[in-house]
A and B are shown apart, each in its own frame.
Chain A
């Protein structure tokens, strides 16, 4: 589980770079990112505010859509930012592992994304700004049939 959270953090950083965000933060995950990727083009625009990218993936147990306690902590941070933010809709993408049927997993992915949505709404996020999409098992984060791959695939991605 620890491993998957770390990988998730790395992924969040890569996504942040791709989105053009600039971060001067010096925490571990940022260092890790610098080691793994070529240095990004230097942005000369002065940065007035730095935002630490939050892990944007939460994970679930097999055939479950209950939020884990660790997930709740992360989602509260997301909710704080979403309440403060004015930038449009957030997509909650629900996913399932390869076990079970594809159509049932599509429904399961939606149930997971709904669980995240409902929690965020309870934290005061405007439901109209949250869009739920399920991909079921059609877009695995990691290929393969190992339990660790499956654990990485039972997820909701906050985009």
Chain B
């Protein structure tokens, strides 16, 4: 437990280095939840320090659990009592409310931050499932809440929580009549958004390094598209490519040692792999069509990518050792920008059916396709590290917004921006 706490503390230092804006720029709106979400009560936590805490930790946990779509948190006004410990929980009262789980907790100050002790109680089983502790610095109350939500979520569903993850996205605003572009970083719930870097030319295709410390992206700041890598902790930045033509679609290999990308220096777009240590580029495709949007399979042995070699954009798999290319998608006349689930079993993609661009999943073995979204102009899907949900970009009116959907399509929420157009969300990996 101690080791876990320490490493978590370290990872979240990323957020402290960057300037934090006080308000959330993205606000969660729940669109659709599961048919039968589990009722859970996260009772307001006891606070043994002085004054009022700057964040309402139990509310943040409730919001996390609600956003997962699997839980229906009991509103505070409906609670008959505010127990501080499992011993104070009245099973009979909560059972009458239909509550299946109760979370109690105690916040206390400690040197440089806070300690949260929290308990998960199973009402129908009439038993305490666990008591756990999370610590964090003075600016880490939200991190403490997300970590507690992760523990509660995993204990009940068996799925690792991803509430403490972050996302990078592109924001476009108008400044003095000119478009201004920013690479933004926020918590996955849209809170604590902050600018990584601002650009006067377009920026696109952000991709996380697997250790969560860096992003690669394409910037037009030199007058041409070029691929950069940037360390989120130190702000150190390196331009990786400056070839004639396209320098596009960087994605990090699962072991972090390579970047797949698209270069058209040979005349048309081809997939390349850059070995980051040696700086060596290896050409992976040879075809006169468009080959683009490479993404790694979790084992690092093959890439999935988009190609119109069959006449229309479809998704193909390239085995790196042999160079063999196999077509994966056959339904619909436009399937593009594949991403692979962490277990390597499911593809998510942009899929056009009846003229509408939606997000779809496909079981790689059976080839069965399923459309997840009903909006139009949906693009840039990015899967959570636990494989439960994905974030994507869509339009509301003429405004670019972010939205999320579970991979079983049961849960949906949107994250409209209060400022400008937002797009190209990239869901972070776990930070530990």
Q: Decide: B249 and A110 in contact? CB cutoff 8 A.
A: no
- Cβ of B205 under 8 Å from chain A: yes
The stretch that binds B, out of A23-31, A37-45, A97-105, is A97-105
Interchain CA distance A101-B382 in the complex, whole Å: 13
Q: Decide: A102 and B424 in contact? CB cutoff 8 A.
A: yes
Chain B proximity of A157: nearest CB distance (Å) = 14
Q: Which of A102-126 contact B (CB under 8 A)?
A: 102-104, 106-108, 110-111, 114
Q: Decide: B224 and A133 in contact? CB cutoff 8 A.
A: yes
Q: Decide: B350 and A101 in contact? CB cutoff 8 A.
A: yes
- Cβ of B377 under 8 Å from chain A: yes
Chain B, interface size category, equals: 20 to 34
Say which residue of A100, A108, A136, A138 sits within 8 Å of B357 (CB atoms).
Answer: A100
Interchain CA distance A101-B393 in the complex, whole Å: 11
Q: Which of A132-154 contact B (CB under 8 A)?
A: 132-136, 138-139, 143-145
Q: Which of B324-342 contact A (CB under 8 A)?
A: 334, 336-337
Q: Decide: A100 and B334 in contact? CB cutoff 8 A.
A: yes
Q: Which of B64-91 contact A (CB under 8 A)?
A: none
Q: Hey, which chain A residues are within 8 Å of B262, CB to CB? A: 103, 107
Q: Hey, which chain B residues are within 8 Å of A98, CB to CB? A: 377
Say which residue of A103, A114, A132 sits within 8 Å of B205 (CB atoms).
Answer: A103
**Binary flags per residue of B281-299, CB closer than 8 Å to A gives 1, else 0:** 0000000001011000000
- Cβ of B58 under 8 Å from chain A: no
Q: Decide: B398 and A103 in contact? CB cutoff 8 A.
A: no
**Binary flags per residue of B302-341, CB closer than 8 Å to A gives 1, else 0:** 0000100000010000000000000000000010110000
Interchain CA distance A111-B291 in the complex, whole Å: 12
Interchain CA distance A116-B395 in the complex, whole Å: 32
Q: Hey, which chain B residues are within 8 Å of A134, CB to CB? A: 225, 246
Say which residue of A103, A110, A143, A144 sits within 8 Å of B337 (CB atoms).
Answer: A103
Interchain CA distance A144-B306 in the complex, whole Å: 26
Interchain CA distance A145-B357 in the complex, whole Å: 13
Q: Report the number of A-B residue pairs with Cβ-Cβ less than 8 Å.
A: 80
Q: Decide: A110 and B246 in contact? CB cutoff 8 A.
A: yes
Q: Considering only CB atoms, which chain B residue lies closest to A109 in the complex?
A: B246
Q: Hey, which chain A residues are within 8 Å of B139, CB to CB? A: none
Given contacts A99-B377, A145-B377, contact A135 B224 (CB under 8 A): no
| Of A103, A114, A135, most B-chain CB atoms within 10 Å | A103
Q: Considering only CB atoms, which chain A residue lies closest to B293 in the complex?
A: A103
Q: Decide: A103 and B248 in contact? CB cutoff 8 A.
A: yes
Chain B proximity of A118: nearest CB distance (Å) = 11
Q: Decide: B306 and A104 in contact? CB cutoff 8 A.
A: yes
Q: Hey, which chain B residues are within 8 Å of A132, CB to CB? A: 245
Number of interface residues of A (CB under 8 A): 23
Interchain CA distance A104-B294 in the complex, whole Å: 11
Q: Hey, which chain A residues are within 8 Å of B264, CB to CB? A: 107, 110
Q: Hey, which chain A residues are within 8 Å of B246, CB to CB? A: 106-107, 110, 134
Interchain CA distance A104-B424 in the complex, whole Å: 14
Given contacts A101-B293, A145-B395, contact A107 B269 (CB under 8 A): yes
Q: Considering only CB atoms, which chain B residue lies closest to A149 in the complex?
A: B398
Q: Hey, which chain B residues are within 8 Å of A111, CB to CB? A: 268, 290
- Cβ of B51 under 8 Å from chain A: no
Interchain CA distance A48-B401 in the complex, whole Å: 54
Q: Hey, which chain B residues are within 8 Å of A138, CB to CB? A: 202, 204, 220
Q: Hey, which chain A residues are within 8 Å of B268, CB to CB? A: 111, 114
Q: Decide: B306 and A106 in contact? CB cutoff 8 A.
A: no
Q: Decide: A106 and B248 in contact? CB cutoff 8 A.
A: yes
- Cβ of B187 under 8 Å from chain A: no
Say which residue of A104, A133, A143 sits within 8 Å of B290 (CB atoms).
Answer: A104
Q: Considering only CB atoms, which chain A residue lies closest to B336 in the complex?
A: A101
Q: Hey, which chain A residues are within 8 Å of B290, CB to CB? A: 104, 107-108, 111
Closest 5 CB pairs of A and B: A138-B202, A101-B337, A107-B290, A101-B336, A107-B269
Tell me the B residues contacting A by CB distance below 8 Å: 179, 202, 204-205, 220, 223-225, 245-246, 248-249, 262, 264, 268-269, 290, 292-293, 306, 313, 334, 336-337, 350, 352, 357, 377, 379-380, 395, 398, 423-424
A-B contact pairs, 11 of them (CB 8 A): A102-B205, A102-B337, A107-B246, A107-B264, A107-B269, A107-B290, A110-B246, A110-B269, A134-B225, A134-B246, A145-B377
Could you list 11 further interchain pairs (A-B, Cβ under 8 angstroms) beyond the known A100-B336, A102-B205, A114-B268? A99-B357, A101-B336, A102-B379, A103-B204, A103-B262, A106-B204, A107-B246, A107-B264, A108-B290, A136-B204, A139-B179
